[in-house]
Amino acid sequence: MARIKDAASEFLGHRRIAVTGVSRDPRGHGANVVYKRLRDRGYEVYAVNPNAEEVEGDRCYHQLGAIPDGVEAVVIGTRPELAQTTMHECAELGIKHVWMHRGPGPGSVSEPAAQWGRQHGIAVIDGGCPCMFGPTADLGHTAMRVVLGMSGNVPREV
């Protein structure tokens, strides 16, 4: 197992990242916050939503496999029951780094999907948010990391 800070650093070391679950209506959607933060910090970030052509002013892809030249990592920002399908798609595409987003609520974490991903060679972060770590962090997310770490929504190890 890796410490969460080390796993987050490795994940954020990738420059081409897809975010699933980005919504056309950004209010209250953690995936949109993550997408915009990565974009604003210079990442090549790709929105994925099977029901949208555009989100946050950018082109949106209906599935991971439609992204030109692929991605190195994926943030899952969908409902947990959709995580397994995304994890299978990541395995098929050779994507080896997945972060299942989780803030104060249930988030996108699916324990069966995380387990399956690890069994298939995918490094999975099952909780927390990329905006809580490294070059994407801000003061609010850093404080949330501490509080949510006590509740288990941010794992200590992955």
> How many structural domains comprise the chain?
1
pTM for this entry: 0.94
Q: Which pLDDT band holds residue 151 (cuts at 50, 70, 90)? A: confident
Give a yes or no: residue 157 inside a domain.
Answer: no
Per the structure, the complete domain to which residue 45 belongs is given by 4-151
Residue 30 pairs in a beta bridge with none
Tokens of 156: 């200590």
Query: What is the overall mean pLDDT for the chain?
Result: 94
Tokens of 133: 């770590």
Longest dimension (CA), the chain: 39
* Residue 102 near residue 114, CB atoms below 8 Å: no
Give a yes or no: residue 32 inside a domain.
Answer: yes
Average pLDDT over residues 147-152: 87
Q: What is the CATH number of the domain that holds 61?
A: 3.40.50.720
